[in-house]
Amino acid sequence: MLEVLIGLASNLGYSEEELFALCKKKREERGAFLKGIILEKTE
């Protein structure tokens, strides 16, 4: 699965290092998906 994401990122012009840097930045700013909680709806 990771290889697919790296391949997609590469096709969009991102290196593997850039992909992981963006993941880290997102995790620090908005959290990770470790608990599997999904926001389904807002009002």
What is residue 40's three-state secondary structure?
coil
Q: Roughly how many angstroms between the first and final C-alpha of the chain, as a whole number?
A: 34
pLDDT for the residue 22: 93
Torsion of CA 23, 26, 29, 34, to 10 degrees: -70
pLDDT for the residue 24: 94
How many domains does the structure of the chain reveal? 1
Question: Does residue 8 sit within a domain?
Answer: yes
pLDDT for the residue 10: 96
Q: What is the pLDDT along the chain (43 residues), one digit of tens a residue?
A: 999 999 999 999 999 999 999 999 999 998 888 888 888 999 8
Range of the domain at 8: 1-29
Question: Does residue 40 sit within a domain?
Answer: no
Q: Provide the total of helices (H) and of strands (E) in the chain, helices listed first.
A: 2, 0
Question: Does residue 43 sit within a domain?
Answer: no
